[in-house]
Every structure is written in C-alpha cells, then in structure tokens.
Chains A and B, each alone.
Chain A
Amino acid sequence: MIGAFVLRRLGSGALAIVGVSILAFAFLHVVPGDPVDHLAGDNASPQLRAKIEHCMGLDRSLPGQLGAFLGHVVDGTLGHQCKNGDANGPTVAARLAEVMPHTLALALAGMLVAIALALPLGVVAAVRRGTWIDTFATATSLAGVSVPIMVLAELGLLVFFVELGWLPGPTETGPAALILPALAVGTHLMAMLARMTRSSLSEVLGEDYVRTARAKGVGERRVVYVHALRNALLPVITVAGLQFGSLLSGAIIVEKVFARPGLGYTLVQAILERNYPVVQGAVLVIAVIYVVVNLLVDLAYGLVDPRIRHG
C-alpha cells in the first residue's frame, strides 16, 4: 500500500518536472523578437550573431532544440550562457550553482524563523482564547500577512541597520546578514502558521480524549503540550513544508532588497539583461526545487499519517 502511494506521488512529481521543463523551453520561443538580438546587442557583426545562434542551438529544428534542451537538463549543465557566443564558456548551471546555496540558506532560515515565532504565538492564543493575548496574536498574524514583503525588509533595514546599527546591511553575506532577510522572508509564513496553530489547537482542545485526560487529573500544562499539541501540530507542519516554495518566491524579492546573491536575484538580473538561457535555467531550477520539496513533504506526511496514503 505504501509502495503504491509512493509510486503514484513520484509519478505525478516526475510529470510536473517534465511539464515545467517543457514550459521553460517554450518560454524562450514565445519571447517576441529574436533572442539573439537581446544577447548580441544592436551593433553585433553577422559572425557574432551566427556564433550566438549556434551556441543557443537556434540553427537546429524545433524538435532538435527541444532534444538538446532536455539533454542539457539531464546532463545538468542547463546549456551555455552564450555571452559573446562562447559555446565553451561558463554554463548556466555554473552560474546558478554559485548562488543557489545562498537562496536555500535564506529559505531555510525563513522557515526556522516562521516556525519558531508561530508556534508560541499560536499556542498562547489558543490556550488563552478570547483574552488580550489572543487579540494581540490575531492582530500580529493579520499584520504579518498584510504588509508587503519588500516593505517588511525595508523596515527591518531602516530600524536595525540604518538606525540602530545592530545588524549588517545589504550586499553582505555572513550568518548575521541572514537575520534580517530571514525575518522578511519568514513573516508571511509565520502569520499563516500562527493562525493555523491557534485554530488547530483550539479544535483539539475541545476533543473527547483531551477531556478524558483532564478528567484523569492530568495537569493542564501536560494536557496542552503533550496530549493536544502533538495532534494539533500535524497539519501545521505539513503546511509549513508545503509553503517552502512560497519562501522561494519571497526570496526573489528579499534578495533584491538586500542585494543578496541568490537564485531570485540572478533571475531578475537575467531578465533585465535579457539573458534568456539564464532566465530559462533559473525558472527551471526554482520550479524543480519547489516540486521536489512538495514531493518530499507529501511522502513524509503519507508515511506519518496512514489516512493520507490510503485516501
């Protein structure tokens, strides 16, 4: 039974990756105008243009191009950047591999921030329902989902870098420089998870087995943290995992504010430079990370909760 569930989920994950690859390939071909124009510039010689065209594989038939593109996906190079038509120059994968750890670190740190702040907030709100703490937690969540991520990032910079000077500012990459971007990336998710924790825990606290535990004379603290929280956290953790992708989206914006090297920053730079091989590669890599993470979360959840894999 587990085997069938894993197989089905792996199958749909693979389908999504193939779909994403084909969309990324098609993308280069719906760009109006000649992609060579964008890379070569206005005053390029015909030789240079031909070199770039050859490097990008545009002199081949469409199926040939798709084959070559998928080949580059499989061999992991994602094609060449083709600046100046140099077919032996740096690959797209090289450029992305350089920046990817920064984005992953940012997303993971954002996840950590989100969970670390959301759980206490949600638990306190659920346990003290209807009090001012609950109102405060609800208001914090609402603000957290409503302030645009770039404004959060700018506010963080303004207060902790410009005014107080406690934390490093843009373009730096040390561990301390991760704090502000991680806060900016994680706040939306934090707000979402805090809301979920509150509603999930309130629901569980009303269940029969919790009443039984209380009736047996189990201490309130133990009832909340041992009996109820365990069950209440299952949906929260799943959503946290599934939202990893939204942290990648957030990273695109935050990397721009902090001028941090990363997949998002590279993607936006490549779009502004009109370097389509890099755009294509970055879109593909971000999408694949997203698909793979969702797949892993689903699989893990299916293994933990039998209701999912039988459903």
Chain B
Amino acid sequence: MTTRATRTRLPPSGRVGLVLLGTFVVLGVLGPYLAPYDASHGVLADRFAAASGAHWLGTDSAGIDVLSQLLWGAREALVISSCVVAISAVVGVGIGTVAGWFGGWVDEVLMRFVDILMAFPGILMNIAIVATVARPGAGVVIAALCANGWVGYARVARGEVLALRERDFVAAAVALGASNRRVMLRYLVPNVLGPTFVQMAFGLGAVIMVEASLSFLGLGPQLPYTWGAMIAQGTSLIWRLGFRHYVLVPGLAITWVVIGANLLGDGLRDRYDPRRRGR
C-alpha cells in the first residue's frame, strides 16, 4: 500500500505544475463563456481604455476587451496544443513501436526519415508549412506543428521498444503465439506510455510556445485574440506608458502554462524513472 502510494504520488513541484496546467485547462474550456465581451470586435469609441471595472485589463487599439481576448486566446491555445500533442503522441508512438519491434529495413527507412525531419530547425519547418497558405486557420497550424511534432515521440518509443524486446514477458508472449499486432498493442505500447506521458507534458509547453511564436510572426491562426498576436500588438505599444500590460499579460499567460508543463514533466519523469530522482 505504502509502496504504491509513494510510486504514484507526484513530487510537490510536479503538483504545482498540475495546478498551473489545470487552471489553464479550466480557463481554456470555460474562457469563452466567462469572457465579458466579444474578443473579435470592439467598440472603437472605447479604444485604449485603461483598466477599469468595465474592462479589468483595459481595451486594445480596436476597442476590444483585453481580458476577453485573453480568455478566448486560452481556448485557442488549449485546442491547438491538445490536438497537436495528442496527434503527435499517437502517430509517434505508433511509428516508433513499429520501427523498434520489426527492426531491419522498416526501422532503417523510418529512422532515416526521422533524421531528415530532425535536420530542420523545428520552427523553420512549421513556418515553411504555414507559409504555403495565405490565411492559415487553426487546422493548418495544427497540421504544421504535427508534421515534425511526432518525431520526438517516435524516437523515445523506439528506444523503449528496443529494450522491451529483450524482456522475458515479451518473449513469453511471442512463444505463446501472440501476433505482432497483439504483442505491440498489449505488451509494448502500455509499457511505452510512461515516458510518453513525460514527453507529452513537456510537449504541451513547447507547442504553446511555438504556436505563440508563429502567431507573433503573423503566421498563426488569423485571429485577433491568440496570445502571440496579442504580444505582437503589444510590441507596437510598448513605448507608451500605461499600455505595457499588452505584452506582459499574454506573456505571463504563456509563461504560466509553460512553467506548469515543465514542472509536471519533471515530476512525471521523476516518478517514472526513480534513478533521476533528486538530480
């Protein structure tokens, strides 16, 4: 009982990460319902309003309520990051497991492909893909981020499977006549999940960061309320006293999520790999 409890409990920093990420998820889900105003259209007469009871964080150059943008932005960030992480993890674990289990030319071909994708700096490939579309929407951004997002998962899954192949329980399953499909789904994938969860946690932070960077460059979803677009707008206002929170508020939101993801990732890693504990 005690061993199980200590094994499944996250270290305190990991729990802090869980709380930070949890807040993000809750706000991402509820944000659009909580937002007091429309996040796409503002009242021009109210532009550049300072923070007040009506507009807690003021309004922007188009008179849009900044708090509403922040909340809608959370929804956008949540949708994109969870889609990218989920798709990348499924594709990556699938490809990595197949490569590691079958080995030989299958492994060789898949891993050379992985090498070529990794020969690109990550964001450059995302930019190149998004650039093929005149007005990218969330779907294009998700596709662009998944295009090389799965690679890391595949590498880790393959490494784990190579080690699992040598284990007795896998040999026993093969000896009992389990099909390749059964071995992979019943015996390999469940054992790859631990390290995959660790990667998903870190991956969530990384995706939020890259998505914000794309939006900041004007290459993200063409919406006025992505966090990256908010920072881009804030950039032009940084010179004006009283408008600095345009950069700081979305910047803080991104940092919040990324710190949460990194703390949770560290915590999960410590949990799944006791050797690393205390490092």
- Which of A's residues lie within 8 Å of B, judged by CB? 12, 15-16, 19-20, 23-24, 27, 30-33, 142-143, 145-151, 154-155, 157-158, 162, 199, 202-203, 245-246, 248-249, 252-253, 256-257, 267-268, 271-272, 274, 279, 283, 286-287, 290-291, 294
Contacts and interface: CB of A to CB of B under 8 A. Distances in A.
A272 B127 CA distance: 11
Given A27-B132, A249-B122, A290-B119, A148 B219 contact: no
Given A162-B238, A162-B239, A279-B131, A154 B247 contact: yes
Contacts of B119: 16, 19-20, 287, 290-291, 294
Interface string B94-128: 00000000000000000010011001111110011
Choose among B112, B213, B244 the residue with the greatest number of A CB atoms under 10 Å from its CB. B213
Interface residues of B, number: 40
B262 A283 contact: no
Contacts of A272: 218
A248 B121 contact: yes
A287 B231 CA distance: 27
Contacts of B131: 31, 271, 279
B40 interface: no
Contacts, number: 124
B133 interface: yes
Given A154-B235, A199-B279, A253-B216, A246 B121 contact: yes
Contacts of A203: 279
Contact of A146 (B121, B124, B205): B205
A286 B124 contact: yes
A287 B120 contact: yes
B251 A145 contact: no
B84 interface: no
B251 A271 contact: no
A144 B134 CA distance: 34
A23 B133 CA distance: 16
B67 interface: no
Contacts of A157: 238
Given A32-B133, A148-B254, A150-B213, A249 B219 contact: no
Contacts of B235: 150, 154, 257
Interface of B: 112, 115-116, 119-124, 127-128, 131-134, 205, 209, 212-213, 216-219, 228, 231, 234-235, 238-239, 244, 247-248, 251, 254-255, 258-259, 262-263, 279
B127 A252 contact: yes
Contacts of A267: 127
Contact of B219 (A268, A287, A290): A268
Contact of A142 (B132, B248, B262): B262
Nearest to A270: B131
A283 B124 contact: yes
Contact of A268 (B112, B218, B244): B218
Nearest to B218: A272
Contacts of A158: 238, 244, 247
8 contacts: A146-B205, A148-B213, A154-B251, A248-B124, A252-B127, A274-B134, A286-B121, A290-B121
Nearest to A188: B209
A253 B213 contact: yes
Contacts of A279: 128, 131
B231 A148 contact: yes
Contacts of A147: 251, 255, 258
Given A19-B116, A245-B121, A290-B119, A252 B217 contact: yes
Nearest to B132: A31
Contacts of B247: 151, 154-155, 158
A151 B231 contact: yes
Contacts of A33: 134
A271 B254 contact: no
Nearest to B246: A154
